[in-house]
A and B are shown apart, each in its own frame.
Chain A
Amino acid sequence: MTAVTAPAGAAPARERLAAALSAAARTGLAAWAIVALLVAVLTVADPGGFWTAANIANVLTATVVLGLVALGQHLVVLTGGIDLSVGSTATLSALLTAMLIDGYPIRTIPTILAMLLLGAAIGVVHGLIVANTRIPAFVVTLSTFYLIQGIAFMISTTPSGQVTRALADVGMRRFGPFPLALAVLAAAVAIVAVLLHRTRFGRHVHAVGGDAAAARSAGVPVNRTLVLVFVIAGTLAAAAGVMLAARATIGSPNAGQGLELSAITVVVVGGASLLGGRASLAGTLGGVALLALVESSFTLLQLPATASDLIRGVVILAAAALFVPRSHRE
């Protein structure tokens, strides 16, 4: 058997390159390599503008909301699912945060907790439906994507509410190049990383996405794992909504529009397989950094913001073409 498993020493250069690329995508190195490249380009293009504390803080601020939804999406994609509703959930949460607080400091903490619970409840619904019916996650969350957005519009069609000074500070304050909001993302990353890599739950997430039937026959509680994953995704989306409200100081019924696609973009660029079972957290975070860089450099380089979608499309296709691991067979 050693003959079959041992890597061959004399592999041709092309195969070695393909193997290196697929390893880079697998470990998430690929996304970071592009980030480094982009940073180098931006440094050369605008040395005075890019490395200022204000601009770095700008880029980092852009990672917070995106990062929170992307972490949730990461987990869902690992199980082989997809959550299209995270943008709508963030919108509803942002709108309700501002409207319920409405400027009263005493309401801040209870409102935030209520929003996180709301996100978790949405996740429970998603998880139970996906786990117990044969309806794919894509369809389930496509329907709630519209439902939740619709509820937000029923509550208000115009920006309304007002967050407190303290909450707005969390959204906007910065220490040199480091925005305070980054701490929220850092905490979320730490929690998800430990869950994924140091707990039974994390192993089960990988197993369910790899092959649900195999996982079930190995005694993995597949349904419980699925529900928990959607709960985490919903909670993180709601947290992203709170951060959106904090940054805007008011709640908008369009606050989180497009976040679901951004989150999927990030996870894909990070080297995850949408079929489940394979995704690297480092890669997803690299994807977050990449997208935040791309978005914020439009203003920096004074490019037309309308080109943003074009760039996004190119980035996704390029990442997929380069880094989607090719399947090798003996």
Chain B
Amino acid sequence: MTAPALEARGLVKRFPGVTALDGVDLVCRAGRVHALLGENGAGKSTLVKILTGNQPPDEGELRIGGTAVRLHDPRAALAHGVSAVYQELTVLPELSVLDNVMLGQEVSRRGLLSRDRQRDTARAALRRAGLGDLDPRTRAGTLSAAAQQLVEIARALVRGSRVLLLDEPSALLSGEGLSALHAVVRELAADGVAIIYITHRLEEVRALADDVTVLRDGRLVSTGPADAYPIDRIVREMVGRDVDAVFPELAEPGAEEVLSVRGLLPAGPGAAGPGLDLTVRAGEIVGVAGLLGSGRSRLLRTLAGVQPRAAGTVTVGGSPVRASLHAAVRAGVVLVPEERKTEGLVLDLPVRANTTLSSIGAVSPGGWLSAARERAAFEAERDRFGIRVSGPEQPTGQLSGGNQQKIVLAKWLRTRPRVLLLDEPTRGIDIGAKAEIYRIVAGLAAEGLAVVFASSELPEVTGLAHRVLVCQGGRVAGELTGDQINEERIMHLALGTSREAS
């Protein structure tokens, strides 16, 4: 048997106070898709950083094609044929798509860029990545996040690497984008590339993977051919215990109408047509589904007063709410945003400050911020939600995604809202923490909160909602309740292929 395309043995990486990787092995063979699985904080990101030369390991050995290597920077990794599509977008918004695809691998002759060859190479790569229709001169910043992700994949294609790491490449994709991605991955594997595929969507493992490696708490749990990994085994090994029910029982909603929306139309390009009518009762959880760009987020952002309305009224408990964030918060409508790290939290602030950010008056008697009250407030929320932190002074950016999300929730709940809006509440959060977030949301609804959440994950929409709205092309295409809620019907409505579309 030939040497593996990539072989890591006994990798150890320590950070102050935590061992991120503790003797992890990983063996990837040419032509195979290797799914790397684990909760957030299991060590996947650290492993990616080591394999791509962004961070040196403290101990351990790395072999590429049988030769021991040291990757001291990303250029060294690229030179050894290891490239990556990172979880965070690394598309440069001010450069054209072409320049982004060719970045770091520009073709030049006698010092000048060779325009024709650059364009041809980029075009070919874009076509393989499923962006054949895109004009390479388009400024990358004008593309949707999903399209930008595909641009990154095109960039990796141009490199012709032997080992390709894909760190949650599908997180932003759905529908066509996802199929294009899967087709590209299979094609690359057929060409003999070793692919390391990181994902939180476990159904992808079955669709794509040849081998599976599961990490937990920085350690290797198990590795083997994908056939030996049914979904429940993966979940058990990732979480370290059986998760029998990810979704909690939902309590019956009350009778009181809390949120009432009439003819709501978000402002912006293409604002036209009939607006949205929606009534949410106390204790009711409404899920909003739809493909990327269908207007899910825009709907929630408009309700929260973050985006202006073109038309329509919003009333909470019978009183109208003006279209501003301030008015919405005062009326008890709060939004847990999709962009947790930029819109939900100030990452450099300690956790206690983020917890009280929106209700700072409550811990400032006489206008003076009381450190003791702030700490007490934080500790109360920590205990209520089981937030795992080293202390009230820990910078929020150091927390895992799940714990960060709990801080955002706590921050808004301290303002005593009546309507809780959640945009992609579990994006980038591992399964264990997801279940906790679901339990928290169900509990809040049982206490009488009206909840509206948008999600691109169908199991989440079907599992957590009393009622589901499906958006398509900026409008609400249909509403499903009770037994009608299933993934198939939602997809039909989302794609506009349903006869029951209203």
Contacts and interface: CB of A to CB of B under 8 A. Distances in A.
A5 B142 contact: yes
B272 to A, nearest CB: 7
Interface in A162-220: 194, 198-200, 203-204, 206-207, 210-211, 213-220
A132 to B, nearest CB: 13
A200 B110 CA distance: 11
A10 B177 CA distance: 27
Nearest to B142: A5
Given A206-B99, A210-B95, A4 B147 contact: yes
A206 B104 CA distance: 12
A5 B113 CA distance: 28
A221 B76 CA distance: 11
Given A206-B95, A210-B93, A219-B74, A1 B269 contact: no
Q: Is the interface of A mostly helix, strand, loop or mixed?
A: helix
A218 B142 contact: no
Contacts of A4: 143-144, 146-147, 292-293
B133 A2 contact: yes
13 contacts: A1-B177, A2-B133, A5-B138, A200-B113, A204-B104, A210-B94, A214-B92, A217-B84, A217-B90, A218-B155, A219-B75, A219-B78, A277-B94
A215 B113 contact: no
Nearest to B95: A206
Interface in B251-293: 268-270, 272, 292-293
Contacts of B75: 219, 221
Interface in A10-68: 10-11, 15
Contact of A215 (B92, B106, B142, B292): B92
A210, A215, A218 — which one has the most chain B CB atoms within 10 A of its CB? Answer: A218
A11 B269 contact: yes
B157 to A, nearest CB: 13
Query: Size class of A's contact patch?
Result: 20 to 34
Contacts of A217: 52, 54, 74, 84, 86, 90
A135 interface: no
Given A198-B113, A219-B78, A207 B142 contact: no
B105 interface: yes
A134 B425 CA distance: 36
A247 B95 CA distance: 40
A1 B350 CA distance: 38
Interface string B64-100: 0000000001110010000010100111111100010
Contacts, number: 102
Contact of B94 (A219, A221, A278): A278
Nearest to A202: B113
A303 interface: no
Contacts of B90: 211, 213-214, 217-218
A125 B468 CA distance: 62
Interface in A224-265: none
A25 to B, nearest CB: 13
Given A10-B272, A199-B111, A1 B147 contact: yes
A216 B108 contact: no
Contacts of A154: none
B369 interface: no
A314 interface: no
A210 B293 CA distance: 25
Interface in B101-150: 102-106, 108, 111-113, 133-134, 138, 142-144, 146-147
- The 8 A-B residue pairs with the shortest CB-CB distance, nearest first, are A8-B269, A219-B104, A214-B90, A210-B92, A4-B293, A4-B144, A218-B104, A200-B106
Contacts of B473: 3
B375 interface: no
Contacts of B272: 10
A5 B94 contact: no
Given A8-B269, A206-B99, A214 B91 contact: yes
Contacts of B103: 203, 207, 215, 218-220
B298 interface: yes
B199 interface: no
A11 B267 CA distance: 10
A330 interface: yes
Contacts of B270: 8, 10
Contacts of A218: 74, 90, 103-104, 155
A217 B111 CA distance: 23
A220 B86 CA distance: 16
Contacts of B52: 217
Contacts of A206: 92, 94-95, 99
B95 A198 contact: no
Contact of A277 (B92, B106, B108, B133): B92
A247 to B, nearest CB: 33
Contacts of A221: 75
Contacts of A15: 269
Contacts of B138: 5
Contacts of A2: 133
A207 B92 contact: yes
A8, A200, A203, A207 — which one has the most chain B CB atoms within 10 A of its CB? Answer: A203
A200 to B, nearest CB: 4
Contacts of A200: 106, 108, 113
B297 interface: yes
Contacts of A11: 269
B488 interface: no
B176 interface: yes
A202 to B, nearest CB: 8
Interface string A272-286: 000001100000000
Contact of B112 (A198, A211, A213): A198
A322 to B, nearest CB: 20
A1 B113 contact: no
